[in-house]
Amino acid sequence: MICSITSFAQEVNKHISYVSIYDYLDELANGHIIELNSAIKPYSRKLIATKLKEAETKREQLTKRQQKDLDFFLKDYNKEFIPNKNFKRRIDLFYYRDSLFAFTLNPILGFSYSANQNGNATHRWNGLEFNGSVGKNFGFYFSLRDNGINNVLADPKYLTQEPGGNYKPYQGTTKLRTDFDEARGGLSYGWKWGSVSLLKDNFAWGNNYNGANIFSGRQPSFAYLSFKMAPAKWFEFNYVHGWLVSQVVDSSKTYGSGSGLRNSFFPKYLAANMLTIKPFKNFHVSLGNSIVYSDKNVQPIYLIPFMFYPSGDHSQTGAGANSLGENSQMFLDISCRSIPKTHIYGSLFVDEVNVGKMFDKAKQTNLFSFKAGIRVTNLLIPNTSFTFEYTRTNPWVYVHPIATTTFESNRYNMGHYLGQNADEIFAGAKVKPLRGLTIDLAYVLARKGAVNPFVQVNGVNAGVAGAQFMQGAMWVNEQVYFKAQYEIINDVFIFGSCAYGNTNGLMLQTYSPAFYQGKTTTATGGVNIGF
């Protein structure tokens, strides 16, 4: 039935902040209604629509609430299959489709207000977004939002999961502006088994329910080339080449003009790939690697999607014994849904592994972050899921002695939000009693140890050797929260939450905004249209 429907091959991504559709597809995958590679996000509208149509053929296996959610989402994603406007559609500000061209335009509006013992925090945002296609192969999308805040809660040094913003100081001062804008968009060409795109967007790699530890997507969006292919049911490949923002000033290219100064930053790039194979049903293994490089133009070797970049780096920069090359990483992700209603998953991010010193605590230099977790969905209690997740990141992971090749963009760490020498326990319950209503109750315990600077001896990094994990927590955040959101119509939400937190430690002033310091009970409410 799915194959008989006219399908369009263009790729238009749904942003990772639209948690509702991502969580619904995850629920269907855990229940063996669909199969899903959840290690790579964002999903395209094409992928989402295909999975929803697959679920529609198994409607009798869904709960009544899941059936209502399915009908609700198809009001939007049926646009990808039905080449006219003659179906039960969502409300759009403007929607047009003919035999060649499709275009959707919608507003973006939102406001949230939070208050606790330390004060209040407001956030308003407004803008617009559109997406569309030309023919069966070309897709495009764009969104622009202007943000206004009264309290900076997201900063490269803060250990929160708030999305990063491009805050700029007022001219001639160090005080940050409290308004910023964010533009995202892309152009893609897709075919039956793959696509190539030029995008400015966020992406997240690694299975998780409380923050990925490979690519988290927390940093401000940056431009990147994307190549995807899935030529067989058991094989999928993803590649990106990104233009990162170093924010490291190149003084040789910086100059003044009148009363102003034009800073020039060193160029900085990312190349990353991920190969996913499915050895058997509902079991996915993903392997990948990446490299951050700088001080040169785009290198052809890093434009090869299937390259093993650490080896490529050796051929490019390995001239001297004490020469520091680029910053390379490797990663592994495993997702198992073989047991009905259960998702067991784990991901590993490797900065450096030294097998010969692995078991010598005085010399170990194994730099890795791992995450492991389990979620059970609709087991005994319908419309309910329970999650337990643990993350540990060893010292020196995600960092690099050269400022231009750190695993960062706009100075935001691209990996797990806690950074190096940290761990986190997450336990949560999610209930969906009605169509569009989600209630979350969760407990989080996050800790971060000391962070020491790199030490060099005769040009060789010596500060990593013998670094032990968590020798006394320098920052601790313990939190219990309750939150609820209801999607009234497509992309229109009301939400509210209440969180009790206790954040303390010697590095409290550094890692936490004043709003979250100490013992707090924070109440939040708001509404949003679009993302």
**In degrees rounded to 5, what are phi and psi of residue 79?**
-60, -25
Region for 504 from its dihedrals, namely left if φ exceeds 0, alpha if ψ lies in -120 to 50, beta otherwise: beta
Residue 454's pLDDT is what?
A: 64
Strands (E) located in 222-264: 222-232, 235-249, 255-257, 260-262
Q: Which pLDDT tens digit goes with each residue over 6-33? A: 445 678 999 999 999 999 999 999 999 9
Mean pLDDT calculated for residue range 57-86: 93
| Among the ranges given (170-174, 365-369, 402-406), the one the predictor scored with the smallest mean pLDDT | 170-174
Map out the domains of the chain with their CATH numbers: 19-255+263-315+324-529 (2.40.160.130)
Q: Which pLDDT tens digit goes with each residue over 375-414? A: 999 998 999 999 999 999 999 899 888 889 999 999 999 9
Q: Which pLDDT tens digit goes with each residue over 509-531? A: 999 999 999 999 999 999 999 87
Paired strand residues for 431: 384, 439
Say if residue 4's pLDDT is above 50.
no
Residue 353's pLDDT is what?
A: 59
Evaluate whether 15 touches 202 at the Cβ level (below 8 Å). Answer: yes
Residue 463's pLDDT is what?
A: 58
- The CA distance from 213 to 459, in Å, is 30
Residue 275's pLDDT is what?
A: 97
Say if residue 74's pLDDT is above 80.
yes
Cis peptide before 42 (omega within 30 of 0): yes
| Among the ranges given (35-44, 249-258, 424-433, 485-494), the one the predictor scored with the smallest mean pLDDT | 249-258
Say if residue 216's pLDDT is above 80.
yes
Distances (CA, A) of 253 to 249, 263, 271, 293: 8, 8, 25, 19
What stretch of H or E contains 266?
A: strand 265-280
- Which pLDDT band holds residue 311 (cuts at 50, 70, 90)? confident
First to last CA, the chain: 32
Residue 172's pLDDT is what?
A: 54
pTM higher than the cut 0.85: yes
Evaluate whether 37 touches 236 at the Cβ level (below 8 Å). Answer: yes
Say if residue 169's pLDDT is above 80.
no
Task: Report the candidate in 235, 267, 232 with the shortest Cα–Cα distance to residue 249.
Answer: 267
- Which pLDDT band holds residue 351 (cuts at 50, 70, 90)? confident
- The CA distance from 56 to 68, in Å, is 11
458 exposed, middle or buried (CB, 10 Å; 0-12, 13-18, 19+)? exposed
Task: Report the candidate in 345, 369, 375 with the shortest Cα–Cα distance to residue 27.
Answer: 375
- The CA distance from 408 to 443, in Å, is 28
- The CA distance from 203 to 257, in Å, is 37
Paired strand residues for 180: 147
| Side chain identity at residue 252, one-letter code | S
Say if residue 1's pLDDT is above 50.
no
Write the DSSP assignment of 130-198 as a string of letters: EEEEETTTEEEEEEEEEEEESS----TTS-S-SPP----BPTTSSPBPSEEEEEEEEEEEEETTEEEEE
Q: Which pLDDT tens digit goes with each residue over 107-153? A: 999 999 999 999 999 999 999 999 999 998 999 999 999 999 998 89
- Which pLDDT band holds residue 474 (cuts at 50, 70, 90)? very high
- Which pLDDT band holds residue 322 (cuts at 50, 70, 90)? very low
Residue 7's pLDDT is what?
A: 46
Mean pLDDT calculated for residue range 182-189: 96
- The CA distance from 484 to 525, in Å, is 10
- Which pLDDT band holds residue 202 (cuts at 50, 70, 90)? very high
Task: Report the candidate in 309, 287, 187 with the shortest Cα–Cα distance to residue 241.
Answer: 309
